[in-house]
Amino acid sequence: MSGKKKYQMNSFYKVIQKIIKGCDSFLNKKYTYLMSLHAAPMIDDKDFHFHAEFYSPLRSENKSKVLAGFESMVEVFIIDVLSVELVKILR
C-alpha cells in the first residue's frame, strides 16, 4: 500500500472515530450505529464521491426500529415471509 493510501485510510479511521466518540458523548452512552459505505458505481466515475452514512437502529432511547440495517441504508424494504406463506396470502 502506498504512503498516500495509508495516510487516507488513517485519516478516514480518525474521522470515523471522532464521529462515534462525539455521538457517545452527546448521548451519554455507547452509540449503537449502522454504517453504510458508498462508492462510485464505476471506478472512473468523476461525478460521484466516496462517503459514509450513519444510521441509528433505534427509534427512541430503548426501542429498535423495525427496519434492518440494509433496508435503512438503501431504502429497499424486504419482506421476511416465506414464499409459500406469501402465496397463500396473495391468493
Q: pLDDT tens digits for 54-81?
A: 877 776 666 666 666 666 666 666 666 7
Tell me the pTM.
Answer: 0.56
| pLDDT > 70? residue 11 | yes
- Number of compact structural domains in the chain: 1
Residue partners of 65: CB distance under 8 A and separation at least 6? 56, 57, 58, 59, 72
What is the mean predicted confidence (pLDDT) over 33-55?
A: 83
Cα(91)–Cα(84) distance, rounded to whole angstroms? 11
Q: For residue 37, what are the contacts with CB-CB under 8 A and spacing of at least 6?
A: 50, 51, 52
**pLDDT surpasses 70 at 22:** yes
Q: Which domain holds residue 8?
A: 3-90
